[in-house]
Amino acid sequence: MKRLTIFLIVIFYLIVYSFGEKKQIKTRSHTSQLIVSGKEWHDTSGKRINAHGGGILFYKGVYYWYGEYKADSTYLNSKVTQWECYRTEARGISCYSSYNLVDWKFEGVVLESESKNEKSELSCSNVLERPKVIYNEKTKKIVMWLHVDSHDYTKASAGVAICDSPVGQFKYLGSIRPNGQMSRDMTIFKDDNGKAYQICSSENNSALYINELSDDYLKPSGRFTRNFINQFREAPAVFKHKGKYYIISSACSGWDPNQAKYAISDSMLGTWTMKGNPCTGKDADKTFLGQSTYVLQINGYKDGYIAMFDKWNKKDLINSRYIWLPVIFKGDSIEIPWIKQWNIKMVLR
Ligand code: DGJ
């Protein structure tokens, strides 16, 4: 009898606790605050958010925003002559957490660069860009992929790091050239069936590779496709809506803005059709002066998507801003309208 009473009490508390959790997440996610693109965005402690070229992981009811943690001073790397190679020291990868996608708490630098060992791939003089993080249900690991490059962008590789927790510290496993090919601007896409893909600018940016990953997400499976050959696309951001796959990308013009384009396909390793510029409104021909980095589907909302862009400030890179805009679906086509300020509730559909 005593055992049964204890059992019932435990069950009662479990039900009350899990109900309370859900309610908290739901109410916190309906914020009335505005997203203001291009304006300084501060974290919950009042400091400027430093998470560039980023992406978002939704894990156990919380959104985690990972990005490039840039250092204060920007300089021109004179060893690179083909383009204006403005650089800042790479300080590693930062992480911010949020329930409502507007208020972001700084969780720290979850993958730190190395200031002493110049030979390390994570040396602060190297390039550590465009981190993307996904969760692997089978191994229970949080997996990060990022663009790892030498000071002059000739290494063109992708690094992998893992962690048991979304807020670090991540263990760096090293870098590779997926399927033996260059990898610069990159993203990761995890499909509903658990398959994941690394998508990167390769062959000196002239082709966009889609590399399927192994079941543990730590290496390429060996299946890959070459896309948009000789079209020089970078800054890929991939998402899925109603069974169709989308890639938004930019042209290659260093830190300077250019026109975005999107492509659509019936499967990740299938044929992609280039559709044109999804942006509309002020500065739409230059991606609102930004460059794509990620498209987030808001958890639980089948049409709730946010397109994330970086508004680079090439001479003061840490002071680059963020542009977040709703994605509007019109049949299979998409539109990303310029809206200076808007409420997340607008895309909760
Ligand atoms: C454009 C890329 O999209 C950025 O991530 C960065 O690598 C710059 N080029 C460097 O110029």
pLDDT tens digits for range 96-128: 999 999 999 999 999 999 999 999 999 999 999
pLDDT tens-digit series, residues 195-212: 999 999 999 999 999 999
Q: Which 8-state DSSP code applies to residue 217?
A: S
Centre of ligand 1 from the C-alpha of residue 52, in Å: 11
Spell out the domain ranges in the chain: 44-347
The encoded tokens of residue 183 equal 């990898």
Q: Is the per-residue pLDDT at 20 higher than 90?
A: no
Burial status of residue 338 (CB atoms within 10 A of its CB: 0-12, 13-18, 19 or more): middle
Report the residue among 255, 308, 320 best suited for mutation to probe ligand 1: largest number of ligand atoms under 8 A from its CB.
Answer: 255
Please tell me if the CB atom of residue 84 comes closer than 6 angstroms to any atom of ligand 1: no
Ligand 1, residue 53: give the atom nearest the CA.
5
Q: State the average pLDDT over residues 249-266.
A: 98
Nearest to 124 by CA among 70, 169, 185: 70
Atom 10 in ligand 1: residue holding the nearest Cα: 254
Atom 3 in ligand 1: residue holding the nearest Cα: 235
The encoded tokens of residue 168 equal 């670090």
Atom 9 in ligand 1: residue holding the nearest Cα: 254
Report the residue among 200, 234, 250 best suited for mutation to probe ligand 1: largest number of ligand atoms under 8 A from its CB.
Answer: 234
The residues that bridge with 329 in the sheet, in sequence order, are 334
Q: State the average pLDDT over residues 150-164.
A: 96
The whole model's pTM is what? 0.91
Q: Is the per-residue pLDDT at 13 higher than 60?
A: no
Please tell me if the CB atom of residue 185 comes closer than 6 angstroms to any atom of ligand 1: yes
Q: State the average pLDDT over residues 149-173.
A: 97
Question: How far apart are alpha carbons 249 and 202 in whole angstroms?
Answer: 14
Q: Which three-class secondary structure state does DSSP give residue 180?
A: helix
Q: Which three-class secondary structure state does DSSP give residue 214?
A: coil
188 neighbors 212 (Cβ within 8 angstroms):
no
Please tell me if the CB atom of residue 234 comes closer than 6 angstroms to any atom of ligand 1: yes
Query: 5 or 156: whose pLDDT is higher?
Result: 156
Centre of ligand 1 from the C-alpha of residue 185, in Å: 7
| SS3 labels along 13-68 | HHHHHHHHHHHHHHHHHCCCCEEECCCCCECCCCCECCCEEEEEEEECCEEEEEEE
Centre of ligand 1 from the C-alpha of residue 166, in Å: 26
Give the per-residue pLDDT at 54.
98
Question: How far apart are alpha carbons 96 and 108 in whole angstroms?
Answer: 7
| Cβ neighbours, 10 Å, residue 107 | 19
Report the residue among 185, 202, 291 best suited for mutation to probe ligand 1: largest number of ligand atoms under 8 A from its CB.
Answer: 185
The residues that bridge with 337 in the sheet, in sequence order, are 280
Q: Which 8-state DSSP code applies to residue 82?
A: S
Please give the mean pLDDT across all residues of the chain: 93
pLDDT band with cut points at 50, 70 and 90 for residue 328? very high
At the fourth CATH level, the homologous superfamily of domain 44-347 is Glycosyl hydrolase domain; family 43 (2.115.10.20)
Give the per-residue pLDDT at 27.
37
Query: 348 or 249: whose pLDDT is higher?
Result: 249
